[in-house]
Amino acid sequence: MEKPSIAFYAPLKPPDHPIPSGDRRMAGNLYAALEKAGYNVFLASRYICYSKRWSEEYFNIRRQGAIEEAERLIKLWGQQKRKPDLWFSFHNYCKAPDWLGMHICNQLDIPLVLGKPCKTGQGPNGEWDKWRVEAQRCIAMAEANIVMTYNDKEYLESLVPKDKIFWIPPFLDINLLTNAQALESGTDADSLWSGGLKLFTPAMMRPGAKMESYKILSQALKLLDDRQWSLVIAGSGPGFDEVKAMFDWDTKNRVNLIGEVKPEEIFHLIDHADLLTWPGWREAYGMVYLEAASRGCPVAALNNTGVPLVVEHERSGLLATPPDVKSYSQILSRLLNNRHLVVSLAKGARDFFDNERSGGQTAGQLKQIIDPVLERPKPKVG
């Protein structure tokens, strides 16, 4: 029997977009998991519905462009005498409503499933309200909405019946991870650390929550200035000089900012680190924590927002409660005092990933959600 055909689409950016991000990685993970579940998956379009600006002009441009792209696909599939059995859309939200999917599903009478639909905090004065209405229309139209955070679950429960909401925790397809490779410069990874517990922070340096995390990391380590540790920071961005200045207090040269490195080099560095130190201030969940767990590297982070979804306290790492500088410094101190705990958490991290957050397990969960959608008739939506 022919495999059901699923048209995969991400209105924010496609899974093969050149700019790396957590959203791009999760899109790729879902695509791979759908394939593992036994579906014939294909990328339907690279059209981007996302807009940085909320104006009426941009709204009309993005929506009209999506409808034109939808009509192009409908015509193409008509000529090929085929159409997908289901439209799977990843990350429909206020700044990227899936107009493409709504139009195609209505015209072709195929079901719509949403992965990670959500509401964001943009537009406190109502700037994005018109866009948000469109995203909510898409959520209401979907046969199934798959959520990955408690905030998204609560939000959707205010919009649609609970039997249209399905929970899948954040996961990672290990087959999509780049194989770890030595640093291109030929530098021995271990030589990047100057001694003590080897801490590693891989994160972009951009305004907002990322810079707040760097600030918390810097202030927490300053409280531990007399302890044995060294830190390697891999990342770059507009805030590089600001981050560098945050560690001016480090007169022992234990903080090494190595700039941006390739993804495969990141995994090489994780393999050599004792601990991944990224506070994760206001992280939706943070794919880097699952990447670390997949390599058996424990984590020190904050117990806030979606971080507890990807770091299990006392098993794959330690979480600071309350999520502040003092508490974060305390969990770092605890790890510096107890190497046996670090080793135990490393084993726990690998177990957590292998048994609970792998792509294979998620494939089974997706199949349980999607198969019933494919089997039941889809009501026409006007």
To the nearest 5 percent, what fractions of the chain are helix, strand and coil? 45, 15, 40
The predicted-structure confidence for 175-229, as pLDDT tens digits, reads as follows 777 778 888 887 899 999 999 999 999 999 999 999 999 999 999 999 999 999 9
| pLDDT confidence of residue 19 | 75
Evaluate whether the domain defined by 176-356 bears CATH number 3.30.70.1400.
Answer: no
CA 49 to chain centre: 19
Kindly write down the DSSP assignment for every residue of 306-347, as one continuous string. TGGGT--BTTTEEEESSSSHHHHHHHHHHHHH-HHHHHHHHH
Stretch 317-338: mean pLDDT: 98
Stretch 66-83: mean pLDDT: 96
Stretch 56-83: mean pLDDT: 96
| Least confident residue range of 250-259, 314-323, 342-351, 373-382 | 373-382
Could you tell me what percent of the chain has a pLDDT over 70?
98
Beta partners for residue 22, in sequence order? none
Could you tell me what percent of the chain has a pLDDT over 90?
84
| pLDDT confidence of residue 323 | 97
Token pair listed for 352: 């957590």
Residue range(s) of every CATH 3.40.50.2000 domain in the chain: 5-173+359-375, 176-356
| pLDDT confidence of residue 161 | 96
Fold type of domain 5-173+359-375: Rossmann fold (3.40.50)
| pLDDT confidence of residue 163 | 96
The predicted-structure confidence for 191-206, as pLDDT tens digits, reads as follows 999 999 999 999 999 9
Q: Which pLDDT band holds residue 16 (cuts at 50, 70, 90)? A: confident
The predicted-structure confidence for 244-291, as pLDDT tens digits, reads as follows 999 999 999 999 999 999 888 999 999 999 999 999 999 988 889 999
